[in-house]
C-alpha cells in the first residue's frame, strides 16, 4: 500500500512521500545527512521522517561530507541501503574522492561480490538567489564517472517514483534534485509507475525543432515551446531524466523527425552533459539533421553572485534564440 494518496503536490513533498514509502517497504533503508532529523533538512524534504522512524534510521550527522559517504559505504557493505542528503550542491566536493574513487569502483574492483546500494541526494542548480557554493550544477563530474548512475527528476510524479527506484538499485545513484522545482505543484499518481528510472520521455509533441534538457531546464523548454507555438513554430520537448546512462531512443527518434535539436542546461557548456548528448545525437542521426545540434547553457565561469544569476542562467529567450538559429540553416 502507498503511504500517500494521489493528487497535486510540490516536488519536495513528493520526494518526502517517496522516501517514506521506501522506508516502509524496507527496514534496511536509512537516511543520513546534516540537519535532516528533527529539522527535516534545509528544504524540508525529510520533514517528519525522524519522528516516524526514529534516530536510528534518520541520522543527523556532523558537517563532514567525506565522513558521511565513507560511513554509508561501510553500512552498504553491512547490508543496509543508505540514502545520503548533501545539503547543497557545492558541498559535495569534500566527498568527491570517496564518491569517485571508492563508491563508484568498489563493486567492479571486487568483481561484483559487494553491492553499493547508496543514493546520494543533491539539491542542485540556481534560481533561488543563494550565495557561493549553494548554486552549482556538478552533474558532468558524476556522469563522467563509470560505476555511478545519475538521474534528475523534473516533475513531482517523477520525483516520487524515481527516488524509490534509485533506493532499490544495487548500484550507487547520484540523485540530483532541481532546487527551483521544489515548490511548484504537479500531479502525482502513486498507483502506477510510469517509466523506468533511466528512460527519457517526450513531454510535448512538435514537428519543427527538438528541445532537450534535464531538471529545472525542462520547465524553461516548455515555456519556450509555448511561446514559439504562438509564432507558428512547433517544438518537441524531451526530458532526459537520466544523465548516466542516457536513454537516447526518444531523443534520436525525435531528431530524426524534426531535423533540428537544441539542448539546454544550467551547467557550463564546456565538457558537459549537453556536449556529450549533442555529440552522440549527431553521430546517430547525422543524415536526418538539417542544422547543427545547438547548445544553450550557463557560461563557462563560476556561478555568479545572486543578483547576476538571471544573466547567467538560460531562460526562454536564450532557448528561442537558439531555435531561430537552428531554423535559419
Q: Which residue among 134, 144, 198, 234 is the active-site one?
A: 134
Phi and psi, residue 222, nearest 5°: -65, -35
For residue 162, what is the enclosing H or E element? Answer: helix 156-168
State the number of CA atoms in the 13 A half-sphere of 197 facing the CB: 18
Compute the chain's Rg from CA coordinates: 20
Other CB atoms within 10 A of residue 160 CB: 28
- Which residues in 161-195 are b (16+ Cβ under 10 Å) and which e? bbbbbbbbbeebbbbbbbbbbbeeebebebeeeeb
Q: Is 134 one of the annotated active-site residues of the chain? A: yes
Residue 1 DSSP SS3: coil
**Contact in structure between 274 and 295 (CB atoms under 8 Å):** yes
Grid cell, residue 313, equals 542562467
State the number of CA atoms in the 13 A half-sphere of 21 facing the CB: 23
Rounded Cα distance between 8 and 183, Å, is 11
**Contact in structure between 312 and 298 (CB atoms under 8 Å):** yes
Other CB atoms within 10 A of residue 292 CB: 13
Sign (positive/negative) of CA torsion 185, 190, 192, 194?
positive
Diameter over CA atoms, the chain:
60
β pairing state of 201-204 and 235-239: antiparallel
The conformation of residue 301, written as its DSSP 8-state character, comes to S
What residues act catalytically?
A: 134
Amino acid at each position: 500500500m502507498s503511504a500517500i494518496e494521489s493528487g497535486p503536490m510540490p516536488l519536495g513533498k513528493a520526494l518526502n512521500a517517496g522516501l517514506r514509502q521506501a522506508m516502509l517497504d524496507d527496514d534496511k533503508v536509512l537516511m543520513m545527512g546534516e540537519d535532516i532529523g528533527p529539522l527535516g533538512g534545509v528544504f524540508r524534504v525529510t520533514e517528519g521522517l525522524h519522528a516516524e522512524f526514529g534516530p536510528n534510521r534518520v541520522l543527523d550527522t556532523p558537517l563532514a561530507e567525506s565522513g558521511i559517504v565513507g560511513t554509508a559505504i561501510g553500512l552498504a557493505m553491512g547490508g543496509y541501503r543508505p540514502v545520503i542528503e548533501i545539503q547543497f550542491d557545492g558541498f559535495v566536493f569534500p566527498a568527491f574522492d570517496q564518491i569517485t574513487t571508492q563508491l563508484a569502483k568498489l563493486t567492479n574492483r571486487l568483481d561484483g561480490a559487494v553491492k553499493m546500494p547508496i543514493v546520494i541526494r543533491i539539491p542542485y542548480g540556481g534560481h533561488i538567489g543563494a550565495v557561493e557554493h549553494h548554486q552549482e550544477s556538478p552533474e558532468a563530474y558524476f556522469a563522467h564517472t563509470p560505476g555511478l548512475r545519475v538521474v534528475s527528476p523534473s516533475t513531482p510524479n517523477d520525483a516520487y517514483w524515481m527516488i524509490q527506484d534509485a533506493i532499490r538499485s544495487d548500484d550507487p545513484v547520484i540523485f540530483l534534485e532541481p532546487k527551483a522545482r521544489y515548490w511548484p505543484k504537479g500531479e502525482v499518481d502513486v498507483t502506477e509507475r510510469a517509466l523506468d528510472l533511466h528512460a527519457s520521455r517526450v513531454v510535448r509533441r512538435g514537428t519543427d525543432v527538438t528541445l532537450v534538457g534535464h531538471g529545472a531546464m525542462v520547465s524553461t523548454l516548455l515555456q519556450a515551446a509555448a511561446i514559439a507555438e504562438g509564432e507558428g513554430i512547433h517544438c518537441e520537448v524531451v526530458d532526459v531524466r537520466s544523465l548516466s546512462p542516457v536513454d537516447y531512443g526518444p531523443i534520436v527518434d525525435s531528431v530524426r523527425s524534426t531535423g533540428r535539436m537544441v539542448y539546454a542546461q544550467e551547467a557550463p557548456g564546456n565538457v558537459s552533459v549537453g556536449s556529450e548528448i549533442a555529440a552522440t545525437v549527431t553521430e546517430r542521426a547525422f543524415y536526418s539533421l538539417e542544422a547543427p545540434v545547438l547548445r544553450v547553457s550557463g557560461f563557462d565561469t563560476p556561478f555568479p553572485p545572486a543578483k547576476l544569476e538571471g544573466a547567467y542562467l538560460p531562460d526562454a529567450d536564450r532557448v528561442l534564440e537558439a531555435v531561430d538559429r537552428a531554423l535559419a540553416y
